[in-house]
C-alpha cells in the first residue's frame, strides 16, 4: 500500500522544550496507526501539526503526494482531517446535535438549516454507539463519558480522510470503549485512516495495525502489530529500558489498616439516584469503588465530598458527625478530593505552576504579610521532582503542559494540603504506564504515613494493585465488597454485573 501521510524530519520547539526532534515516518491509507509514548513524549504535538493547529519548526508533511504548505485548521479540515482533543472541547450550552455538526451544511434551498435532517443524521450516529441520548438534549445534561462520545461523533462526521484521536477513551467506561473500537473498525472498512493515541496498551494491541513509538520527542520506531509483538516489548521501547515482571500486580504488601474508623457514611439516599449507601474507611486503608456506568459510583464520589447533596444520610469524621456536608467543611477537616475532570478541577491553567502548587498553602508559605517566593519555589520543586513532572520551569503555565503532566500537577496540588483523607476519582487518567506505577507506589507510601484513601476507578487492575477492599456498586446500591486476597477481575466483575457470586 502506498504511503498516504508522510511525516518528514519534523521538529518543533516550545522555547527550550524540544517537543519533536527530527521525526520521520509514514502512515498508510486506511490503517489504524497508534502512537505510543510516555507523558510529554510529543504525541499530541505531532497530531496538532497534522491537524494544522500548530506549525512545525522545521520539516514537512506530505498528504497524498502533496506537501502541506498552509498549516491551519481550515486547510486541514478542507483536506478531510478531523481531530478529537485530549481535553473535552464540547460546547456545553449547545445541543448534542449542534455539537456533532457544528459546521453543518444542512441548508435548505431557502438558506435555512434543515433541522429535521440534521437531527436524523445525528441520531443515526448516536445509534451506532447505542447510547441513550437525543440530538436535542443540552450538552451539560450529559455525563462526561457521553460528552466525550459526542466529541468523537463530531470528528467522525467531519473526518472524510483522516481522523486523529488523542486519548479518546480516557473518559469512557468499558462498554463505551468497546463501542468506539467497533466504530473505528467500521471507519477503517470505509477506507478512513485513523491515528490513535492511548496510554492503554491493550487497546492499542486490539485496534492498531501499526504502532509508532515516540520517546522524548524522538522517533523510536514503527512496529507491525502481529502476533510476535508483545506489550512488554512496546513498553520497553517506550521507556527505553527493559522492564521486569508485570506492570500491575496484586498488592502484596501487608495491609496496615487499623480498626480506627476515620470516615463513615451512613445511609446516603437520594430520590431517583443512589440508595442506602453506607460504608466505613479505616485509618491506613485504601478503599476502592467499582461500578459500571450508571451504577452510581460517580454520584457517590461527589456526594461524599459535598459536591452533590443527598436527601438523607450522615457523614462522620473520626466519629464526629459533620453538620454540613460541604467541600469547605471537608477540606478544613483534612479531606481532599481529586477530580476526574482536569478542566473543572481547580487547575489555574494560565497561572504558573508555582502559584498552582502554592495555592493551598499560601498561609504556610508566607512571612507575615508577604509571600515568600523562595519557600514557594522550593515547595513547588519538591513536588515536581517527586512526581517527575516534565516542566521547563516552575513558571510554566499548566495549559502548556502535556495531559499527563497536568494530571501529575493536580495530584501534587492535592498533596500540598497535607490531607489525612484523600478521595481520588480516576487517579491515573491520562498517565503513562510507567508513571502509573509511580503514582500507585506514592499512594501506598501515603498510607504508611497514616493517611487513608478512597479510590474510584474504572480500571480494575488499578483497584487490584491498590486496594485493601473494593466496594462494588450496581443499580445505584452497594452490592457487596471484595476483600484483599480475594480481589480479582472475576470477583469484582461478578459483583458489578449484579450477580450473587460477587456479593459479600
Ligand X SMILES: Nc1ncnc2c1ncn2[C@@H]1O[C@H](COP(=O)(O)OP(=O)(O)OP(=O)(O)O)[C@@H](O)[C@H]1O
Closest CA to 473 of 319, 352, 304, 306: 304
Contact partner, 495, from ligand X, Mg ion, none, Cβ < 5-8 Å per class: none
Q: Is 403 in the site for Mg ion (CB under 5 A)?
A: yes
Rounded Cα distance, 66 and 53, in Å: 19
Among 401, 424, 433, 455, binds ligand X (CB under 6 A): 401
Minimum separation from the CB atom of position 216 to ligand X (A): 9
| Run of H or E including 491 | helix 489-496
The three-class DSSP label of residue 113 is strand
Residues in region 81-110 near Mg ion by CB under 5 A? 86
Given the DSSP bridges, would you call strands 210-215 and 421-425 parallel, antiparallel or unpaired?
A: unpaired
Give the x-and-dash track for 31-50 against Mg ion (CB under 5 A): -------------x------
Minimum separation from the CB atom of position 407 to Mg ion (A): 11
Among 147, 402, 425, 465, binds ligand X (CB under 6 A): 402
Nearer of residues 170 and 298 to Mg ion, judged by Cβ: 170
Q: What is the CA radius of gyration of the chain?
A: 24
Rounded Cα distance, 292 and 353, in Å: 35
Minimum separation from the CB atom of position 200 to ligand X (A): 12
CB-nearest residue to ligand X:
404
Contact partner, 39, from Mg ion, ligand X, none, Cβ < 5-8 Å per class: ligand X
Among 31, 44, 87, 279, binds ligand X (CB under 6 A): 44
Q: Is 37 in the site for ligand X (CB under 6 A)?
A: yes
Closest CA to 484 of 295, 264, 257: 257
Q: Is 42 in the site for ligand X (CB under 6 A)?
A: yes
All 3 cell numbers of residue 494?
Answer: 461478578
Residues in region 90-149 near ligand X by CB under 6 A? none
Report which DSSP code applies to 28.
Answer: E
Among 145, 288, 403, 495, binds ligand X (CB under 6 A): 403
Helix and strand totals (H; E) in the chain = 16, 22
Given the DSSP bridges, would you call strands 3-14 and 17-28 parallel, antiparallel or unpaired?
A: antiparallel
Nearer of residues 404 and 495 to ligand X, judged by Cβ: 404
Among 21, 115, 400, 493, binds ligand X (CB under 6 A): 400
Q: What is the DSSP string of 178-208?
A: HHHHHHHHHHHHTT-EEEEE-S-HHHHHHH-
Q: For residue 26, what are the β-bridge partners?
A: 6
Contact partner, 446, from ligand X, Mg ion, none, Cβ < 5-8 Å per class: none
Among 33, 43, 237, 282, binds ligand X (CB under 6 A): 43
Q: Are 471 and 478 in contact (CB under 8 A)?
A: yes
Minimum separation from the CB atom of position 433 to Mg ion (A): 14
Rounded Cα distance, 24 and 262, in Å: 55
Closest CA to 252 of 32, 465, 471: 465
Q: Is 457 in the site for Mg ion (CB under 5 A)?
A: no
**Selected range binding ligand X among 135-143, 284-292, 402-410, 488-496, rule: CB under 6 A:** 402-410
Contact partner, 284, from Mg ion, ligand X, none, Cβ < 5-8 Å per class: none
Q: Is 41 in the site for ligand X (CB under 6 A)?
A: yes
Q: Is 419 in the site for ligand X (CB under 6 A)?
A: no
Q: Which residues contact 358 (CB under 8 A, 6 or more apart)?
A: 365, 371, 376, 379, 380, 416
The three-class DSSP label of residue 14 is strand
| Helix, strand, coil content of the chain in percent (nearest 5) | 35, 25, 40
The three-class DSSP label of residue 61 is strand
Q: Is 398 in the site for ligand X (CB under 6 A)?
A: no
Minimum separation from the CB atom of position 175 to ligand X (A): 24
**Count, residues near ligand X per rule CB under 6 A:** 20
Among 5, 7, 33, 39, binds ligand X (CB under 6 A): 39
**Under the rule (CB under 5 A), what is the footprint of Mg ion?**
44, 86, 402-403
User: Which chain residues interact with ligand X by CB under 6 A?
Assistant: 14, 17, 19, 37, 39-45, 86, 390, 400-405, 432
Amino acid at each position: 500500500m502506498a504511503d498516504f501521510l508522510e511525516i518528514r524530519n519534523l521538529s518543533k520547539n516550545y522555547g527550550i522544550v524540544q517537543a519533536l526532534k527530527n521525526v520521520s515516518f509514514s502512515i498508510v491509507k486506511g490503517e489504524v496507526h497508534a502512537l505510543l509514548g510516555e507523558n510529554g513524549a510529543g504525541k499530541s504535538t505531532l497530531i496538532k501539526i497534522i491537524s494544522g493547529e500548530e506549525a512545525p519548526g522545521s520539516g514537512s508533511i506530505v498528504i497524498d503526494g502533496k506537501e502541506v504548505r498552509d498549516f491551519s485548521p481550515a486547510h486541514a479540515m478542507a483536506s478531510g482531517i478531523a481531530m478529537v482533543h485530549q481535553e473535552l472541547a464540547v460546547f456545553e450550552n449547545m445541543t448534542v446535535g449542534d455539537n456533532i455538526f457544528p459546521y453543518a451544511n444542512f441548508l435548505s434551498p431557502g438558506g435555512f438549516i434543515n433541522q429535521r435532517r440534521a437531527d436524523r443524521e445525528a441520531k443515526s450516529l448516536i445509534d451506532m454507539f447505542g447510547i441513550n441520548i437525543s440530538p436535542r438534549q443540552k450538552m451539560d445534561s450529559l455525563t462526561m463519558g457521553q460528552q466525550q462520545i459526542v466529541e468523537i461523533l463530531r470528528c467522525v462526521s467531519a473526518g472524510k480522510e483522516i481522523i486523529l484521536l488523542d486519548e479518546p477513551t480516557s473518559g469512557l467506561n468499558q462498554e463505551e470503549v468497546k463501542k468506539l473500537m467497533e466504530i473505528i473498525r467500521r471507519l477503517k472498512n470505509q477506507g478512513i485512516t485513523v491515528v490513535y493515541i492511548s496510554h492503554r496498551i491493550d487497546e492499542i494491541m486490539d485496534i492498531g495495525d501499526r504502532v509508532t513509538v515516540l520517546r522524548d520527542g524522538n522517533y523510536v520506531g514503527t512496529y507491525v502489530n502481529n502476533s510476535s509483538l508483545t506489550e512488554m516489548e512496546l513498553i520497553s521501547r517506550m521507556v527505553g529500558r527493559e522492564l521486569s515482571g508485570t506492570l500491575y500486580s496484586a498488592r502484596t504488601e501487608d495491609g496496615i489498616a487499623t480498626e480506627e474508623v476515620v470516615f463513615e457514611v451512613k445511609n446516603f439516599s437520594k430520590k431517583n439516584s443512589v440508595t442506602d449507601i453506607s460504608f466505613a474507611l479505616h485509618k491506613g486503608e485504601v478503599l476502592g469503588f467499582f461500578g459500571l456506568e450508571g451504577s452510581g459510583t460517580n454520584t457517590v464520589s461527589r456526594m461524599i465530598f459535598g459536591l452533590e447533596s443527598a436527601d438523607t444520610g450522615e457523614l462522620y469524621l473520626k466519629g464526629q458527625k459533620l453538620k454540613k456536608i460541604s467541600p469547605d467543611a471537608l477540606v478544613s477537616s483534612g479531606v481532599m478530593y481529586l477530580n476526574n475532570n482536569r478542566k473543572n478541577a481547580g487547575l489555574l491553567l494560565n497561572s504558573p505552576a508555582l502559584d498552582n502548587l502554592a495555592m493551598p498553602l499560601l498561609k504556610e508559605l508566607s512571612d507575615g504579610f508577604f509571600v515568600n517566593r523562595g519557600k514557594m519555589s522550593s515547595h513547588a520543586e519538591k513536588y515536581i521532582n517527586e512526581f517527575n513532572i516534565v516542566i521547563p520551569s516552575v513558571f510554566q503555565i499548566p495549559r502548556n503542559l502535556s495531559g499527563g503532566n497536568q494530571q501529575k500537577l493536580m495530584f501534587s496540588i492535592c498533596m500540598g494540603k497535607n490531607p489525612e483523607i484523600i478521595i481520588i476519582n480516576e487517579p491515573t487518567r491520562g498517565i503513562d504506564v510507567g508513571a502509573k506505577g509511580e503514582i500507585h507506589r506514592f499512594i501506598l507510601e501515603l498510607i504508611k504515613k497514616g493517611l487513608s484513601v478512597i479510590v474510584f476507578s474504572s480500571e480494575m487492575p488499578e483497584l487490584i494493585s491498590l486496594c485493601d477492599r473494593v466496594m462494588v456498586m450496581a443499580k445505584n446500591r452497594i452490592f457487596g465488597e471484595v476483600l484483599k486476597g480475594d480481589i480479582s477481575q472475576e470477583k469484582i466483575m461478578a459483583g458489578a454485573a449484579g450477580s450473587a457470586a460477587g456479593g459479600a
